[in-house]
A and B are shown apart, each in its own frame.
Chain A
Amino acid sequence: MRLLSLTTVAETLRMAAPYACAAVAGVWAERAGVIQIGLEAVLLSSAFASVATAIASGSMVLGVIAGIATGVALSALHAYLVDKTRIDAVVSGIAWNLLAYSASRLALRALYDSASNSPSIEGFRFGPTGNEGWQVLLRVLCDPVNWLALLAIVASPVILERTRLGLRIRAVGENPTAARAAGIDVGRTRLAALAISGAIGALGGVHLAFDQHRFESGMSAGRGFIALAAVVLSGWLPGRAALACIAFAFLEALQFVLQDIGQASKAVTLAQILPYAAALVALGVGVGRRSAPGGLGRHAEG
């Protein structure tokens, strides 16, 4: 398999979807001034909720809806706690990550008596079967979850930059005290932004689960964290964040190419470090060095 083949392109797009959803979710949260390192929890909990609902109801569409609802609920609760109780957002995010990981494992045992994965679900199967490059690519292009994700990603900058809600969210994110003086309800605006963030992040979780046709313990595998790096690298712009995620996904897809070439297998395991190392280097050399929203982590004072 060559470095750039239809398969690599297809795999890159397939892998990029959860990253990109999580990253755009991160942009929504941080543009509203709320630090959200619980993206991992959003991915994981929505993946679990979508699979559990799909299994219980037999309806994949209901599964998607349940996944999105879970992401919205978790994310909005984060915003509520941070605003109302002034819990430190980083601490809250870490707690959500732990909660989603442990609770989903607990539920796996309780519902399916398994320590590692759920029974399989049908998911959406459109497009040709087979493993030729064009077949894989066509399947990716036929996946409705991908289209939902793409829609969310494309709509995000428009809503953030062109609408009244977007303006309010940015105002709250840049300077909550001034926004409040201008008559904006900081808490509610942040709640709205985080609800949207949760919905978009949840699409990533649903994508993960439907792509694997089941839920696996810890299946978000750090994607929420990589997405955070993409947020910073993008300078808090949703489009660029999604592009950065495609780059990360390409680095991940490369591992499979390397495996195919059959280079010394131990080096391949080390190649998994590529996305993280790339993120560190990119941050170090100041790619897209833009400052964070002025009100990130701040509350309205006075």
Chain B
Amino acid sequence: MTPILTPARQRTLLALAGALVVMNLASFGFGEAPLETLGRIWAGTWGTPYGIGQVLFKAIPLLFTGVAFGVALRAGLFNIGSEGQLAMASLAAGFFASKLGAGLPWVVALPLVVAVAALVGGAFAAIAGAMRAKLGVHEIITSIMLNRSADVFLPWALAVGLSVDGVRTAPVAEGARVPPLERWFPSFTGSAASLAFPTAVIVAFAVHAWTRRSRIGRELEWVGQAATVCEAQGIDVARRRMQAMVLSGAIGGLTMMGTVLGYKGYYELGLGAGAGFSGIAVAMLGRGGPVQLTLAALLFGTLAQAGIAINARVPRDAMGVIEAVVILLMGAAAFASSQDEVKSPVPANRKETAG
């Protein structure tokens, strides 16, 4: 019989308590009554249909990047380059979609744009993947360098011709838009939630099933657990690592479905920024499976939306502090409870941190 307070739930409770403490301190610091701040957060997030829609919208990139990080982690790779991968993919998708013919039906346009985003995200991740697989340079270092390179490259690319006004790309073709949920659920009206949310959930379940059912997916995990054994067994470790990294980048690139195609209708600098790093927290919190992953994305989506709800009175940076505290508390509590769980959270192979 499982106890009601499983280790995972204890962790979540601890993190929520920490979040509450920081929230109250920040409220006091800015001369606001904590209860009023909490009330504002409730009204801005789960308290109204519009708020719920906004939370779903905020959760879309986080779920995609969470899944992306998880896939690489299965193979023992720390892809902290989602940030750059999703930005490059978003720009490419936004630009490509703006060049499509206006009359193109969505069954053609949408898959094309999604493919471009996945391709670009995957290709950008492939640089780090290849350097790890072929040259043995650790992916953490290369991912960080690639993130920073993207930070420099994007404004330049927008300035020299990929944009209409130096800041944003031209509007995407109508057929490439991801329809908003308000089309089917009128109470979401005004919120930016789109079909990208259910898509992200489906992707989370599909990837989960694939890593467990397919041969490549299972080999990824073995590579993550014991690379040298795999090598001896004739598994092409370098190739599997490369595949995991590219797949991770491609999934990260899909975030643009929520931001570029489902919300703005164009790409502008900074759209989707931050999701790459938050996705790591989502993946850590949502280990276990696609349901947990979705819940974790919703939690961090709620934090992000709550920041906007209180920003007029308490700066939304308070939510950044809360997010950091939640990550630290969850991570710190994970070990205590992993004693009871079957497996270590991080594949053993990651410990072989070569430079």
Contact = CB atoms under 8 A, between A and B. Distances in A.
11 contacts: A87-B328, A88-B331, A91-B280, A92-B331, A94-B80, A103-B321, A109-B315, A222-B148, A228-B140, A276-B146, A280-B146
Interface stretch (B52-60, B222-230, B259-267, B344-352): B344-352
B144 interface: yes
A92 B156 CA distance: 32
Nearest to B350: A297
B137 A85 contact: no
Interface in B158-175: 159-160
Interface stretch (A120-128, A188-196, A198-206, A283-291): A283-291
A9 interface: no
A269 B281 contact: no
B320 A102 contact: yes
A232 to B, nearest CB: 5
Contacts of A88: 284, 331, 345-346
B355 interface: yes
The B contact surface, by secondary structure, is helix
A204 B305 CA distance: 35
A266 B159 contact: yes
A232 B138 contact: yes
B188 interface: no
B335 interface: yes
Given A99-B320, A280-B145, 20 more contacts: A85-B331, A87-B328, A88-B345, A98-B324, A99-B324, A102-B318, A102-B319, A102-B321, A103-B321, A105-B320, A115-B315, A222-B148, A235-B355, A269-B155, A276-B152, A277-B149, A284-B131, A286-B135, A292-B138, A297-B353
A273 interface: yes
Most buried by A among B142, B145, B338: B145
A277 B147 CA distance: 11
A286 B320 CA distance: 37
B64 to A, nearest CB: 18
Contacts of B332: 81, 85, 87
A236 B353 CA distance: 13
Interface residues of B, number: 55
Contacts of B184: none
Contacts of B350: 297
A251 B345 CA distance: 40
B327 interface: yes
Interface in A217-234: 222, 225-226, 228-229, 232
A292 to B, nearest CB: 4
B38 interface: no
A135 B145 CA distance: 34
Given A102-B324, A286-B135, A291-B354, A85 B333 contact: yes
Contacts of B280: 91, 94
A266 B127 CA distance: 25
B353 A87 contact: no
A269 B166 CA distance: 13
Contact of B331 (A95, A97, A105): A95
A21 interface: no
A91 B144 contact: no
B78 interface: yes
Interface string B331-344: 11111101000000
Contacts of B29: 106, 110
B153 interface: yes
Given A270-B152, A283-B131, A105 B315 contact: yes
A123 B31 CA distance: 32
B335 A37 contact: no
A276 B331 contact: no
Contacts of B317: 102-103, 105-106, 109
A90 interface: yes
Interface string A225-256: 11011001001100000000000000000000
A110 B335 CA distance: 35
B92 to A, nearest CB: 17
A266 B318 contact: no
Given A96-B324, A266-B160, A35 B353 contact: yes
Contacts of B155: 269
Contacts of A94: 80, 277, 280-281, 327
A180 interface: no
B185 interface: no
A62 interface: no
Interface string A51-92: 000000000000000000000000000000100011110111
B152 A283 contact: no
- By Cβ-Cβ distance, the 9 closest A-B pairs, closest first, are A102-B320, A86-B335, A99-B324, A87-B331, A85-B332, A95-B327, A292-B355, A105-B317, A98-B324
A296 interface: yes
A273 B135 contact: no
A298 interface: yes
Contacts of B152: 269-270, 272-273, 276
A276 B141 CA distance: 10
B207 interface: no
A134 interface: no
B155 to A, nearest CB: 7
Given A99-B321, A225-B144, A92 B354 contact: no
Contacts of B325: 95, 99
B219 interface: no
B221 interface: no
Interface string B7-40: 0000000000000000000100110000000000
Nearest to A86: B335
B78 A87 contact: no
